[in-house]
Amino acid sequence: MMNSLFYVDFEDYLRVQDKVDETYRNQHKWNKMSLINIAKASYFSADETVKRYAETIWHVKQLSEKGDMNVKY
């Protein structure tokens, strides 16, 4: 059954992959698309995300840069 789920959209995957290959070969177009994608991306920082999780979900405090070695867990 797993194989049939994989093959359902395999032709679509191949068609899109061909389009990706074609676009990549045109370096000017690829670079332009890449820069537009970067420019339109929203702000994201893994550090900020982890900090926010620590504060709002895990309710833990951030250690100092030197490390708070006396912290008890």
In a domain, 63, yes or no: no
Q: Is residue 53 part of a domain?
A: yes
Distance CA 63, CA 70 (A): 11
Please give the residue range of the domain that contains residue 40.
8-58
Number of domains, the chain: 1
- Is this prediction's pTM over 0.75? no
Please indicate whether residue 8 or residue 20 has the higher confidence score (pLDDT). 20
49 in any annotated domain: yes
Give the pLDDT of residue 40. 85
pLDDT tens digits along 17-45: 999 999 999 999 999 999 999 888 877 77
Distance, CA of 34 to CA of 31 (rounded, Å): 5
Q: Is residue 20 in some structural domain?
A: yes
The secondary structure of 4-41 as a DSSP string is HHHHTTHHHHHHHHHHHHHHHHSHHHHHHHHHHHHHHS
